[in-house]
Chain A
Amino acid sequence: MAFHHKILGIVTFLYLFLFLIHIIYFAVKKEKIIAFIWLVLYGTLGLHTVGLVFRWVESYQLGIGHAPLSNFYESLVFYPWCISIILVVMKQRLKYPAITLCCTLISLFLMGYASISPSVEKNIQPLVPALQSNWLHIHVLTCFLAYASFVVSFVCGLLYMFTWKSVVPPRETLDEINYSSVIVGFPMLSAGIFTGAVWAHYAWGSYWSWDPKETWSLITWIVYAVFLHARLVRGWKGKKIAILSIIGFASVIFTYFGVNFVLSGLHSYAT
């Protein structure tokens, strides 16, 4: 077991710890705990970064150096890192622990799945020729920051469906956070698709080949474009917007997981 695996193992437990602090907060409702939650979140993000950097460094020690963004395991570990980044970026708006609770739970699930599932190859693998490009970094980073923003949007959409006064934030707040996370996610997704297209042009000879992953990212882009137009032009709010954000996230999930498991195509590195 490589050193970075140990660090990432601790990170997984920190996400579990974060989840437990949230539960304690809802039990005792002390404002001080919220500050502690953010402190732990910063710490987790820091250690998570260290873990990723170590995996990067260890790949160089193996003589197959590359950023840890190249296979399914690495994406599963990178996704929660992006979620934490987005949470930190949106901290001003995320005063309600219910949102960070749900996001942490999703991070915990991803980290847990990465380390427990026997079908996920955890070792550092060499880069196949198609991935040997600097576009890899910016493409994966933009895509996953978008996916992470849509996690926040989805959580708001989901919480909107519940009316549990002491836990769930007010509906107007959820609606606003939902919208502002899509405002971050949509340009990121666009950038992810465009960097992917430019890369595809240089690697595969065509910027758009209707590969399932490309197609599903376009579908996701369309769902969020509809979300933005429905809200900004038609003035949709509340439940309709919440439903759209849930549909959007379902599309994200399919773009990320579904395409790899159900459909095959040029993006098959990730399985």
Chain B
Amino acid sequence: MSATKNKPTEVIPPEKGIFKSLQDFLASIKFAIILLVCIALGSILGTVIKQGAGPAEYLSLYSESTYRAITLLDLDDVYHSTWFIALLFLFAINLTLCTLRRFMPILRVDKKVSVPEESAMASMSMNFRTSTNVDDASLFAMLKGYQCTYSGEEGKVFQKGALSKYGVLLIHTSIMLILIGGFVGLVAGFKGFMVLQKGDTKSTIAIGGERPREKPLGFSLKCKEFQVSFYPNGAPKDYVSTVEVIEGGQTILEKQIRVNEPLSYKGIQIYQASYGSTPSFSFTIGNEHVTLKEKETYRKDNFVIMPIRFEQNIHNFGPGVMVAYLDKGEPRTAWFLKNVERFNEKSIQGIPVRFEDVQENLFTGLSVSKDPGIWIVWAGFAFILLGLYINFFLYHRRIYVRKIAGAYLVAGVAMKNKEAFKEEFYKLRRKFDGISS
């Protein structure tokens, strides 16, 4: 019965109403908080679940069904998943609408300020009358830091901190800037890696991700020198790559790249990211001296050898290398131990092969990236901080001074921070009293 009775109140709103209410929801602070909470929860998932690992690692941590759920929801790469980016996108929409809605009104030109009527001023919480006759100069001096926004026969209006109402607008716009900057970097930027040994020159970088590929840089990098230094306790102290930028066959510039001191060229940043070493082995083959890297083949007629594995220390006998060779067409392997007399030499196909030494060749790992959105992001950072300052540490207050018969009526209002304003207002009153005495 009651259901039928209630029916008339549940009239389906007209088409425009749905749009309107959807728009209202998208622009609401409620939606903003829901989105922020979702973004926070998504981010937490990304720190709790290991990101970007292989299937084997996930299966060792979770059951198969959990793993299926993880891949289905992209939980192995939360921050680049469609749903997370969609959340950020919705947040951008919400922020824009919310900001427009709340701040369009204040952007309209202030309606003319004037000195309120005597009765209105007298009813303000902070006001006093004074019979002191002050001239304009001393009035301005007393209200130092204030701006006179209205001056007329009947009195004056002063204000301070009017900027504070733009604080939130500035903060929100800056967050938009940061999101835009991030998006620009995502679309127009790249990040790759380059490994160089001393003397190497390369003009491409390796880009990882879903489609690993080589990307040409448009110029070449030559590693002239690479040095690592350590503190006495063994911790790394400094990595320095001395790099030449070569373009069109000409050396454009030379720079030392360190951690925290990247090289910037044509909007591309080159960072010292890592280092490592690969061994190379010197052999005396017959009476010829040969240096081979790992997996590098030495071939002479039908004599073939290739170092395939290096161990720093084999059963406390020191460094050793496993060498693959062909014995009458048959592939075989043998270990050469550098420091053991009986094992550092072997006859292969009648030729004596002697393992002389092993050298460590350092290589430098350079991270190479381009991010055209960076300055937008930096601007966003700076403006947010400015906005936070304006919003929280400035506050808008007005002081009205009205001439009344033979005296002044002074009144003040503050939008917020009323306690601090009260104190300021009392000080002003004491100044007036000081003149009269």
Q: A129-B238, A129-B258, A226-B33 are in contact. List 20 more A-B contacts (CB 8 A).
A: A64-B231, A125-B233, A126-B231, A126-B233, A128-B236, A130-B259, A132-B260, A133-B260, A186-B392, A191-B385, A197-B381, A205-B369, A208-B182, A212-B47, A216-B43, A216-B47, A218-B40, A218-B43, A222-B39, A263-B48
Q: Tell whether B184 is near chain A: CB-to-CB under 8 Å.
A: no
- Total B residues in contact with A, Cβ cutoff 8 Å: 45
A93 and chain B: residue at smallest CB distance: B419
A251 and chain B: residue at smallest CB distance: B40
Contact of B260 among A125, A203, A218 (CB under 8 A): A203
CB proximity to B under 8 Å, residues A208-234: 208, 210, 212, 215-216, 218-219, 222-223, 225-226, 229-230, 233-234
CB proximity to A under 8 Å, residues B368-418: 368-369, 371, 374, 377-378, 381, 384-385, 388-389, 392
Q: Tell whether A190 is near chain B: CB-to-CB under 8 Å.
A: yes
Assess whether B236 is in contact with A129, with CB atoms less than 8 Å apart.
yes
Q: How far is the CA of A263 from the CA of B46 in the complex (A)?
A: 11
For the complex formed, measure the closest distance between the CB of A116 and the CB atoms of chain B, giving whole angstroms.
24
Q: How far is the CA of A149 from the CA of B236 in the complex (A)?
A: 35
What DSSP secondary structure best describes chain A's contact surface? Answer: helix
Residues on B with C-beta less than 8 A from A194 are 381, 384-385
Assess whether B262 is in contact with A225, with CB atoms less than 8 Å apart.
no
Assess whether A190 is in contact with B236, with CB atoms less than 8 Å apart.
no
CB proximity to B under 8 Å, residues A233-256: 233-234
Residues on A with C-beta less than 8 A from B33 are 226, 229-230
Residues on B with C-beta less than 8 A from A64 are 231
Contact of A129 among B79, B259, B392 (CB under 8 A): B259
CB proximity to A under 8 Å, residues B30-63: 32-33, 36-37, 39-40, 43-44, 46-48, 51
Residues on A with C-beta less than 8 A from B238 are 129, 132
Residues on A with C-beta less than 8 A from B182 are 208
- Known A64-B231, A186-B388, A190-B384; contact A205-B191, beta-carbon cutoff 8 A: yes
For the complex formed, measure the closest distance between the CB of B221 and the CB atoms of chain A, giving whole angstroms.
15
Assess whether A219 is in contact with B44, with CB atoms less than 8 Å apart.
yes
For the complex formed, measure the closest distance between the CB of A223 and the CB atoms of chain B, giving whole angstroms.
7
Q: Tell whether A198 is near chain B: CB-to-CB under 8 Å.
A: yes
Q: Tell whether A204 is near chain B: CB-to-CB under 8 Å.
A: yes
Residues on B with C-beta less than 8 A from A219 are 40, 43-44
For the complex formed, measure the closest distance between the CB of B389 and the CB atoms of chain A, giving whole angstroms.
7
For the complex formed, measure the closest distance between the CB of B312 and the CB atoms of chain A, giving whole angstroms.
24
Q: Tell whether A36 is near chain B: CB-to-CB under 8 Å.
A: no
Q: How far is the CA of A197 from the CA of B380 in the complex (A)?
A: 12
Q: Tell whether B363 is near chain A: CB-to-CB under 8 Å.
A: no
For the complex formed, measure the closest distance between the CB of B77 and the CB atoms of chain A, giving whole angstroms.
10
For the complex formed, measure the closest distance between the CB of B376 and the CB atoms of chain A, giving whole angstroms.
11
Residues on B with C-beta less than 8 A from A223 are 40
Assess whether A129 is in contact with B385, with CB atoms less than 8 Å apart.
no
Q: Tell whether B235 is near chain A: CB-to-CB under 8 Å.
A: yes
CB proximity to A under 8 Å, residues B62-77: none
Q: How far is the CA of A96 from the CA of B231 in the complex (A)?
A: 50
Q: Tell whether B367 is near chain A: CB-to-CB under 8 Å.
A: yes
- Known A187-B389, A207-B377; contact A202-B260, beta-carbon cutoff 8 A: yes
For the complex formed, measure the closest distance between the CB of B183 and the CB atoms of chain A, giving whole angstroms.
13
For the complex formed, measure the closest distance between the CB of B370 and the CB atoms of chain A, giving whole angstroms.
10
Residues on A with C-beta less than 8 A from B51 are 210
Q: How far is the CA of A126 from the CA of B43 in the complex (A)?
A: 33
Q: Tell whether B237 is near chain A: CB-to-CB under 8 Å.
A: yes
Q: How far is the CA of A133 from the CA of B272 in the complex (A)?
A: 14
Residues on A with C-beta less than 8 A from B47 are 212, 215-216, 259, 263
Assess whether A225 is in contact with B36, with CB atoms less than 8 Å apart.
yes
CB proximity to A under 8 Å, residues B1-49: 29, 32-33, 36-37, 39-40, 43-44, 46-48
A-B contacts, 16 of them at CB < 8 A, read A126-B233, A129-B239, A129-B258, A129-B260, A186-B388, A186-B392, A204-B273, A205-B262, A205-B273, A205-B368, A208-B182, A216-B43, A218-B43, A219-B43, A229-B32, A234-B29
For the complex formed, measure the closest distance between the CB of A112 and the CB atoms of chain B, giving whole angstroms.
27
Residues on A with C-beta less than 8 A from B368 are 205
Q: How far is the CA of A183 from the CA of B48 in the complex (A)?
A: 30
